Amino acid sequence: MTASTHVSSDERIRSLEGHARDIRRAIVSMVHTAQSGHCGGSLSAADVVSALYFDLMNIDPSKPRMPGRDRFVLSKGHACPVLYAALALRGYFPVEELSTLRKNSSRLQGHPVSTYLPGVDATAGSLGLGFAQAVGMALEGRMLKADYHVYALLGDGELNEGVVWEAASTAAKFGLEKLVAIVDRNNLQNDGKADDIMPMEPIDKKFEAFNWRVLTMDGHDMAEVLATLEASNEPTGRPTCIIARTVKGKGVSFMENKREWHGKAPSDDEYSMACKDLEGGCT
Amino acid sequence: MSLAKSKTPTRRALAERMLEAGSERDDFVVFESDIGYSTYSYLFGDAYPERYFNLGIAELGTMATAAGMAAEGRPAIVCGYGVFLSMRALEAVRSFICYPRMNVKIFSSHGGVTAAVDGVTHQATEDIAFMATLPGMTVLAPCDSASARASFDLALGIHGPVFVRLMRDPLSELYPEGTEFSIGGCHTPRKGDDITIVSYGDLVFQALEAAELLATEGINAEVIDMYSIKPWDRQALRLSLERTKALLVVENHQRKNGLGYELAAWCMREGVSVPFAQLGLDDTFAESGSYPLTIQKFGMDAASIAAAARKLAAAKY
Ligand SMILES: Cc1ncc(C[n+]2csc(CCOP(=O)(O)OP(=O)(O)O)c2C)c(N)n1
Ligand SMILES: [Mg+2]
């Protein structure tokens, strides 16, 4: 059940902000150790992932395959440092294992594999196809009349893929109201600004036209993140899309809004600078 | 023989040649799916923005769009990662490029496990099987800068589909600039009489290293760089096997349906009966890791090649 039932909303928000900071520190330090991986899109998603894993999702780290658990599909699989950090900090596996990211024989593959690491619900890395799997998981939940929610996190560049819109049609056709797609709207993809590479706006109207309910939020304002994610659980007979306005590289000043930091690892100097930016330093 | 370390991965060497060619001929266009900084197609895009189309993260649509432009008579180039170009875009390549013989060139990076750290979703380890199976497709796999640059010109020099497999990381430089390459040709960077090792791309360097090891034991391996995978040089293989009478095929690819299967089937058909072995992924996926450790773990490094070659050479007698 949610960890927050008995705390005041202020405490709840402070605590999730703290977890988000821990997640960010772990992201930067694991990509630095691996000298490979994606910082920008991991950092932009840290607040949403913190709220899901440390508050909203019905999960039990000691029972990673619990049938009634909420599912999380990281469709933008390249951002797996954010997922690995949340899973380790939440207790799915030892935090020390984070330093094996992208190394031979590690369970922390360069892109997440569901059967390798406890807590990873779907294999991803090829953009667009994680989301379609999330739709399949929600369809199974509907067939079983199960209560679980399926949260899928997509990049805004990922929306370019045609399969995203095939999956969106399917979700609407079957009224998958327990499916929540969160779009990490950081306005950057690999080659530049998302709005330049392939204009997708109006994203809200597109999802509405596909018969989805659409909510928007500031993806770094924890109070708003919590309220919006909670609102997404109200049954409406339709799937919900949350557009999270975010900053790529959020929290590390020199990475923020920089295309170059999509898939680059920090040098030792950059790592120390990043740790200074992330309150409390790195471990 | 010690080779010069390369500073330029083949993906970049080819893209630099593409940039030069932009001023030599004004007919071709380049399509990209949001990894232009990785394929280095941005070099061309920055210089010729009106001939460069970045369609976002949409490989299947990009491939079909290129086919449409080619149907209008314009030579079209598509750049991207091997996994997405050879799998997500496969139907467009087969039915709308190869079938109607469209003039589309596919420059495909991150071949084999050379994208090692990214893991299996980014490792093109079945691309040669898919592409070489398609009627009318020409498949090239250069190993260094000179052969990558030449591959660009070979691809643009013929009408019809061509797939060029490129690599993520710089390895070594084997061929002097100006070396001749041809579609259907091969090179033999090392001569020997005891066993023929056929490879392409990155593993040519492992094969050459293995040959050095073997030489110290008195086994003289011949190393053929079969950079033209389809069509491939039957005459060269026949002549080599007449002397060496043993064949080892080494590829950064699944063993199944790769060049090894092609050469073995040819040997059977032609009645060329020699001891034969293959190295490559043995019906398994690879994993994330460093390139050297990954090819070692999956038995494609110089030591594994030398071990397999020793066995084969012994099997001849
Ligand atoms: C099908 C597919 N094509 C290309 C890629 C390579 N790639 C990895 S991340 C990325 C850009 C993603 O941008 P976006 O979805 O906006 O993610 P974010 O900004 O959140 O990192 C690309 C093109 C991929 N992983 N999958
Ligand atoms: Mg983005």
Domain membership flag for residue A3: no
Would you say B256 and B129 are in contact if contact means Cβ atoms under 8 Å apart? Answer: yes
Q: How far away is chain B from the Cα of A162, in angstroms, using its nearest Cα?
A: 7
Domain membership flag for residue A258: yes
SS3 B180: coil
Domain membership flag for residue A283: no
Would you say A268 and A63 are in contact if contact means Cβ atoms under 8 Å apart? Answer: no
Determine phi and psi for B223, rounding to 5 degrees: -115, 120
Shortest-distance atom of ligand 1 to CA A41: 21
User: Looking at residues A33-42, what average pLDDT do you find?
Assistant: 97
**Which CATH number characterizes residue A139's domain?**
3.40.50.970
Domain membership flag for residue A94: yes
pLDDT tens digits for A90-103?
999 999 999 999 99
The model's pTM is 0.97
Asked if the model's pLDDT at residue A205 lies above 50, the reply is yes
pLDDT tens digits for A175-203?
999 999 999 999 999 999 999 999 999 99
Q: What is the pLDDT of residue B114?
A: 84
What whole-number distance in Å separates Cα of residue B15 and Cα of residue B22? 11
- Ligand 1 centroid vs A277 CA: distance in angstroms? 26
Would you say B32 and B54 are in contact if contact means Cβ atoms under 8 Å apart? Answer: yes
Nearest C-alpha neighbor of B11 from the set B87, B104, B80: B80
Token pair in block for residue B227: 């950079």
Nearest C-alpha neighbor of A2 from the set A71, A56, A70: A56
Q: What is the pLDDT of residue A1?
A: 41
pLDDT tens digits for A106-119?
999 999 999 889 99
Calculate ∠ Cα B257-B262-B265, nearest 5°.
Answer: 115
Q: What is the pLDDT of residue B266?
A: 98
Would you say B159 and B210 are in contact if contact means Cβ atoms under 8 Å apart? Answer: no
Identify the structural domains of chain B with CATH numbers, from first to last.
4-173 (3.40.50.970), 187-315 (3.40.50.920)
Would you place residue A279 in the very low, low, confident or very high pLDDT band (cuts 50, 70, 90)? confident
Residue type, B92: A
End-to-end CA distance of chain B: 29
SS3 A178: coil
Q: Which residue puts its alpha carbon closest to atom 8 of ligand 1?
A: A78
SS3 B137: coil
What whole-number distance in Å separates Cα of residue B166 and Cα of residue B170? 10
Chain B environment of A113 (Cβ under 8 Å): 119-120
Low-confidence ranges of chain B (pLDDT < 70): 1
Predicted-complex ipTM score: 0.95
Range of the domain at A179: 9-277
DSSP H helical segments within chain A, as ranges?
9-34, 40-44, 46-51, 80-90, 129-143, 162-173, 194-197, 203-209, 222-232, 268-277
Query: Across the interface, which of B34, B36, B60 has its CB nearest the CB of A162?
Result: B60
What whole-number distance in Å separates Cα of residue B142 and Cα of residue B149? 9
Would you say A71 and A59 are in contact if contact means Cβ atoms under 8 Å apart? Answer: no
Q: What is the pLDDT of residue B149?
A: 98
Domain membership flag for residue A234: yes
Subunit contact B289:A102, Cβ cutoff 8 A: yes
Domain membership flag for residue A2: no
> Which residues are close to ligand 2, an ion, with C-beta < 5 A?
A 155-157, 186, 188-189
Nearest C-alpha neighbor of B281 from the set B305, B253, B308, B257: B253
Q: What is the pLDDT of residue B115?
A: 82
Domain membership flag for residue A142: yes
Asked if the model's pLDDT at residue A6 lies above 70, the reply is no
What whole-number distance in Å separates Cα of residue A130 and Cα of residue A139? 14
Domain membership flag for residue A1: no
Chain B environment of A197 (Cβ under 8 Å): 34, 54, 56
Shortest-distance atom of ligand 1 to CA B35: 23
Mean of per-residue pLDDT scores for chain A: 96
Would you say A177 and A148 are in contact if contact means Cβ atoms under 8 Å apart? Answer: no
Q: What is the pLDDT of residue A74?
A: 98
Give me the number of domains chain A comprises: 1
pLDDT tens digits for A208-264?
999 999 999 999 999 999 999 999 999 999 999 999 999 999 999 999 999 999 999
What whole-number distance in Å separates Cα of residue A47 and Cα of residue A16? 8
